[in-house]
């Protein structure tokens, strides 16, 4: 246990709680099959943060192939699809730990870099991603359903560029 909370892999029994956290934290919500699909796709990279014996946060990821954000070659990349931590459990390091462990897990699937989309206005998330070495690569105009732009942020693999603690 670290300060009373810890990170562990998602289990099927966590689904209800994860869906609740997602709904309470983000406007991007999904049907159950979407969560389970990502779990079956990359189980090691679907993690939950447990605090006070409840699911306080989650991260889920997808392993994709595409052009590198750091060059022109095709690579295997880790996509952080969704992450959230309940309001009442924020600023304890849970979000940071979920992303760090999520990156470690994606590395086990052979990815050489990671990327994500984040609302331009989402200072908290941009703050935690920058702390973990992500940088803004481009703006995705009107990416969200309500018309807000996203930043595409990316980071090289932790094998090549270890996380600075």
Ligand X SMILES: CC(C)(COP(=O)(O)OP(=O)(O)OC[C@H]1O[C@@H](n2cnc3c(N)ncnc32)[C@H](O)[C@@H]1OP(=O)(O)O)[C@@H](O)C(=O)NCCC(=O)NCCS
Which three-class secondary structure state does DSSP give residue 152? strand
Min separation Cβ 154 and ligand X, Å: 13
Buried b / exposed e along 115-145 (16+ C-beta atoms within 10 A): bbbbbeeeeebbebbeebbbeeeeeeeebee
Q: Tell whether residue 124 is a contact of ligand X (CB under 6 A).
A: yes
| CB 112, CB 23: distance < 8 Å | no
Cα atoms in the 13 Å half-sphere on the side-chain side of 52: 6
* Choices 8-16, 29-37, 63-71, 117-125 (CB under 6 A): range interacting with ligand X: 117-125
Smaller CB separation from ligand X, 22 or 112: 22
Out of 7, 18, 19, 25, the only residue in the binding site for ligand X (CB under 6 A) is 25
Q: Which one of 45, 61, 69, 95 is in contact with ligand X (CB under 6 A)?
A: 95
CB of 19 to ligand X, least distance (A): 14
Q: Token pair of 11, please?
A: 């289990």
Binding site for ligand X (CB under 6 A): 25-26, 83-85, 90-96, 118, 122-125, 127-128, 131
């Amino acid at each position: 246990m670290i300060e009373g909370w810890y990170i562990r892999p998602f289990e099927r029994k966590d689904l209800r709680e994860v869906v609740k956290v997602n709904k309470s934290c983000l406007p991007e919500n999904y049907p159950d099959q979407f969560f389970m699909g990502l779990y079956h796709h990359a189980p090691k990279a679907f993690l939950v943060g447990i605090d006070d014996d409840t699911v306080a946060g989650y991260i889920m990821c997808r392993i994709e192939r595409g052009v590198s954000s750091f060059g022109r070659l095709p690579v295997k990349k880790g996509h952080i699809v969704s992450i959230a931590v309940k309001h009442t459990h924020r600023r304890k390091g849970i979000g940071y730990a979920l992303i760090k462990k999520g990156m470690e897990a994606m590395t086990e699937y052979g990815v050489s870099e990671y990327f994500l989309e984040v609302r331009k206005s989402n200072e908290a998330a941009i703050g935690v991603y920058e702390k973990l070495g992500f940088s803004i690569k481009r703006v995705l105009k009107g990416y969200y359903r309500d018309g807000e732009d996203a930043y595409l942020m990316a980071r090289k693999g932790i094998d090549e560029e270890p996380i600075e603690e």
